Structure 1
């Protein structure tokens, strides 16, 4: 009996590193690998070489990857490459993530029967530069030409609707199994110089203004004054690192705050944490929040974007206003004083992500869209 022919989906992305959108692509491609659809991750090359991280992680995960050379912001030779690839590999549909991928997918499939689906991740709301506003404007035009559009959050879908772009909401999802059986990583704690009595409060994300880390550090000052054994770990890198390190020095928190930089052992690092904090000023649908829930961590997060819906209005974690150090401090102290409450919320978060935000559920929803596009 011959093997079933699988429909090939080209998932296109211009990547600046592995962040939220890239992690969605990796989770979705992994979820599709066991279905009748065959995912191929198409990575648009760029001058900074930041595209290589997505390609490398995808290949190590056993996923198919193809690199499309891109010499300038909008290179029509890249569209020609993609068009030839689509024809050669009999691609059934193109799934674009981001404005540049949207542009190239539309140009590459022009005058063909190949349909295009766009997943709209959050537009950058805090970048008011001419370049950012221009790309957002152009992206809206391109999204209107797509055969199908998906929004990752209610906020993004509402933004699209205001521009007369209809989109279906498909929440992000993660592979829950990666976080099964986590335990206190004694060796890892020791490597950071933590003692068994230390309380480890962690956060993960790029060191950028949108993450609200200045407010978290101000909160850390208050917490460490009452709990000298509290340790704060910041996982991630970005343009604000030097400024945040200066703030740590100004607050005399050098012995309580550690910047770990960008790490690939996220699951292990969650096992080190006693509490996870997401202090963002703006967010779409943060993958790291799903990971913290899957890791069974007590969660404190700001009431922005899709966060309140993800943690079920506060049943699966504590919600605080953004840009509010005092509220962050109060929430952290609630968990420090009441471990039973912290553990109960951590368990509720784990159950919530298992039921509603698995990568398999996300894949099934996208499969319905692929079927419609191909038929």
Structure 2
């Protein structure tokens, strides 16, 4: 019998998102002499399927589109056809739809990754109750932040013995502060003059990320600092609405939508600061990547963000949805180059010391070992 254990990672989709970015880093850093990872996307190949396949990861697409009967049936059949030692679920949709099927088939080594205190559970008590019920049949739940850990304890009554707190991490070696040449090249690629002060907003264009507020901050900031350029990197259902808001404003020349940016390293080399206005987060990947790149960050003081960022030490924190607070914090960043340098240096140190993917993957492998020992 082989000592290599097969691990199937099940996720809602392989569209653009922090959970997908983390999953790619996770499976490529697992000890392949001990674990053989595969990935199952419930619906669609998205932008990440090719990346998983290029990394040599077998990738199953259970449905070409978001059609629950189709991907539920195909997942059921996949579990009956293949023998997996561990099932690892990511994101709420996979947890809610696919996890009960695995439990029904008698799988006993089930790990759940809970990425954030998502609003869908809070708005719908039925979903909250269903998720809490399904969690009774899993082996371990990995919370990516202390706030997620406490949420699972308090709101879903998950016993402390079933929880592990392991934050998301990144390959910090892939991100670093830009050299002068790298900065010139990044600006040349994007067509941005070196003299321009560039502020980035990065992520899925969804309600949670509050990009509408980023635009309001941009309008006020550009009014005072016409030399500033805001770049929005990401796609999502709110993209057209956000673009139209900019087009109706008098600041369209100073706000640029980049769409999906595959070369995030190059993007960070072009930035002077990053703005994150999310209403809730687990451990956001864009935040970790920006900090590893030495970029000063202004962010909402919520959930996992506030566990990574310490105000005035490695970033600036603002109460959520506080327009004046975000504008004031950005003003400090723009006017004070010494503050930018200090925050950026401390931010990178934080990532190297606490959020390097290789050490965090060892923690996940320990969870796997424990789960397998209990079967």
Whether these two folds match at TM > 0.5 is: yes
In structure 2, relative to structure 1, the CA distance for the partners of 1:113 and 1:196 (3 Å cut) is closer
Say whether residues 1:179 and 2:175 are aligned partners: yes
Shift of 1:27: 1.5
1-side partners of 2:209 and 2:106: how far apart?
A: 42
**Kept after mapping to 1: 8 A contact 2:9/2:38:** yes
Shift of 1:92: 1.6
Q: Which residue is 2:49 aligned to? A: 55
2-side partners of 1:192 and 1:111: how far apart?
A: 51
Q: Which residue is 2:354 aligned to? A: 356
Q: How does 1:218-229 map to 2 (within 5 A)?
A: 218-229=216-227
Q: Which residue is 1:86 aligned to? A: 82
**Kept after mapping to 2: 8 A contact 1:151/1:169:** yes
Shift of 1:201: 0.6
Q: Which runs of 5+ in 2 are unaligned?
A: none
- The equivalent position to 2:94 in structure 1, one of 93, 96, 101, is 101
SS at match of 1:322: coil
Say whether residues 1:42 and 2:43 are aligned partners: no
CA deviation map 1:306-360 (0-9, x unaligned):
1111013442101111112221111111112211111111010101011101111
Q: Which residue is 1:150 aligned to? A: 142
**Kept after mapping to 2: 8 A contact 1:12/1:42:** yes
2-side partners of 1:128 and 1:368: how far apart?
A: 31
TM-score normalised over the length of structure 1: 0.89
Count residues in correspondence. 364
Say whether residues 1:169 and 2:158 are aligned partners: no
SS at match of 2:142: strand
**Kept after mapping to 2: 8 A contact 1:198/1:230:** yes
Shift of 1:127: 8.2
CA deviation map 1:19-64 (0-9, x unaligned):
12212211111120455222222222x3xx3x34332221123333
Q: How does 1:294-313 map to 2 (within 5 A)?
A: 294-313=292-311
Shift of 1:206: 1.5
**Kept after mapping to 2: 8 A contact 1:203/1:235:** yes
1-side partners of 2:335 and 2:223: how far apart?
A: 15
SS at match of 1:232: strand
Say whether residues 1:365 and 2:359 are aligned partners: no
2-side partners of 1:33 and 1:252: how far apart?
A: 53
CA RMSD, aligned part only?
A: 2.5
1-side partners of 2:310 and 2:149: how far apart?
A: 19
Give the stretch that moved more between structures: 244-253 or 343-352. 244-253
SS at match of 2:200: strand
- The equivalent position to 2:321 in structure 1, one of 320, 323, 340, is 323
In structure 2, relative to structure 1, the CA distance for the partners of 1:40 and 1:140 (3 Å cut) is same
Give the stretch that moved more between structures: 280-289 or 356-365. 280-289
Q: Which residue is 1:121 aligned to? A: 115
2-side partners of 1:85 and 1:210: how far apart?
A: 38
Q: How does 1:64-79 map to 2 (within 5 A)?
A: 64-69=58-63, 72-74=67-69, 77-79=73-75
TM-score normalised over the length of structure 2: 0.89
Shift of 1:300: 0.8
Shift of 1:84: 2.9
1-side partners of 2:330 and 2:177: how far apart?
A: 25
Shift of 1:198: 0.6
2-side partners of 1:181 and 1:331: how far apart?
A: 22
Q: Which residue is 2:334 aligned to? A: 336
**Kept after mapping to 2: 8 A contact 1:79/1:105:** no
SS at match of 1:225: helix
